[in-house]
Amino acid sequence: MIDIELVDAVLDLFAALLCLFGAAMCLTAAIGLVRFPDLISRMHPAAKPQSLGLLVLALAVVLHLRTWRAALLMLLVATLQMVTVTLASHIVARTGYRAHFVESGTLVADELAPVVHRDRKAAVTGGRRMSAGSGGPDGGQTGGAAEPSGPPSSDPNQETP
Amino acid sequence: MIGILNTIELVVVAIAVAALATAGAVTLIRVAKGPTSLDRIISSDLVVGIVVGGFALHVVLTGRATTLPIMLAISLVGFIGAVAMARFVHDQVAVTPEAPRRLRRRRGGSEAGSSGADEGAPGTSGEPGRVGEEGS
C-alpha cells in the first residue's frame, strides 16, 4: 500500500522534473529569439527548442495523469506540434528569402539563389512569351507565373523551387 | 518521505512556472521590437507554444484533465496565423513605392498590349529599397 503511494510520488516528482526541463527549453527558445541577430538565426530557436520543450511537457502531463485518455491527447498534441511547426517555419523561411529579408552575406552556401533568379527571369520573360502566344519551356517551373492575367504580386508565390 | 517528495515536486513545478513566465515575457520583447514582421510572426508562434506549455503546467499543478482539449485545439490552429501573415508579408514587399513608376515607364515604352509582361517587375524592382530599409 505504502509502496504504491511512494511510486506515485516518485512518478509525480519525475513529471515535475520533466516540467522543469520543458520550461527551461521554452526559456532557451525565448532567449535565443531575443539574442540572435537575424531572421534565419531566430527561426532556429523558435522551432527546435520550443518543439522539444512542448514534447517534454506533454510527456510530463502523461506521467502526471497516467491515463490512456491523456496519453492519447498528448500524442495528438505532440504530432500536431511537429507538423505545424515545420509548416510554419517553412512558410516563414520561404517568404523571408523571397522577400529579401535574408542577407546573402550571412549565408555560407546559397543554393536557392540561382533557382529564384531563374524563376524571376522566367516569370518576366515567360509572361511576355505567353502574351505573344506560346506557352514557353518553363511551364513546369513557373506554372502560375506564366499566366498573364494573374494579380501582379501573386506571381512569385506560385513558384516552386 | 512522501510529504518531502510532494514538497519537492511543488517547488520544482513552481520554478518551471517561473521559467515559462519569463520565457513568455522575453518573447514578447521580441514581438514588440522585432525589426521585420516575420520576426514578429515567429515570436508570436513561440508565444502560442508557451501558452500550450502553460496549460500543461496547469494540468500538472492541479491534476485535472479539463485543459487537455484546450491544448489540443491551440496546437491545432496555432500555426494558421503564422502562415496567413507570411503570405501577407510577401504581398506587402512585392508592391513597393517605386514599382508603379517603373511599371508605367515600361508600359509607355512597349505599348499596352503586353500587360502580362510587367507582372514580374514589382518583385524585382522592389529589392534595393526594401533591403536598405531592413538595415536600419
**ipTM for this model:** 0.72
Is B6 inside any structural domain? yes
Q: Do B46 and A153 touch (CB under 8 A)?
A: no
Is B118 inside any structural domain? no
Q: Which of B2, B56, B71 sits opposite A9 (nearest CB)?
A: B2
Is B112 inside any structural domain? no
Q: What per-residue confidence (pLDDT) applies to B108?
A: 52
As for how many domains chain B has, the answer is 1
* Least confident among A75-79, A124-128, B28-32: A124-128
Q: Which of A26, A42, A91 sits opposite B23 (nearest CB)?
A: A26
Average pLDDT over residues B80-100: 66
Band (pLDDT 50/70/90 cuts) for residue A53 is very high
Q: Which residues contact B91 (CB under 8 A, 6 or more apart)?
A: A153, A154
Is B124 inside any structural domain? no
Band (pLDDT 50/70/90 cuts) for residue B106 is low
* Dist CA B117 CA B111 (whole Å): 11
**Closest to B133 measured CA to CA, from B97, B101, B105:** B97
Band (pLDDT 50/70/90 cuts) for residue B124 is very low
Domain that holds residue B76: 2-92
Is B71 inside any structural domain? yes
Q: Which of A26, A46, A53 sits opposite B45 (nearest CB)?
A: A46
Tell me the chain A residues in contact with residue B42 when contact means C-beta distances shorter than 8 Å: 33, 39, 42-43, 46-47, 88-89, 92
Q: What per-residue confidence (pLDDT) applies to A123?
A: 76
Q: Which chain A residue has its CA at the smallest distance from B82's CA?
A: A88
Q: Answer whether residue A20 shows pLDDT above 50.
A: yes
- Where does residue A39 fall: left (phi above 0), alpha (psi -120 to 50 degrees), or beta otherwise? alpha
Is B115 inside any structural domain? no
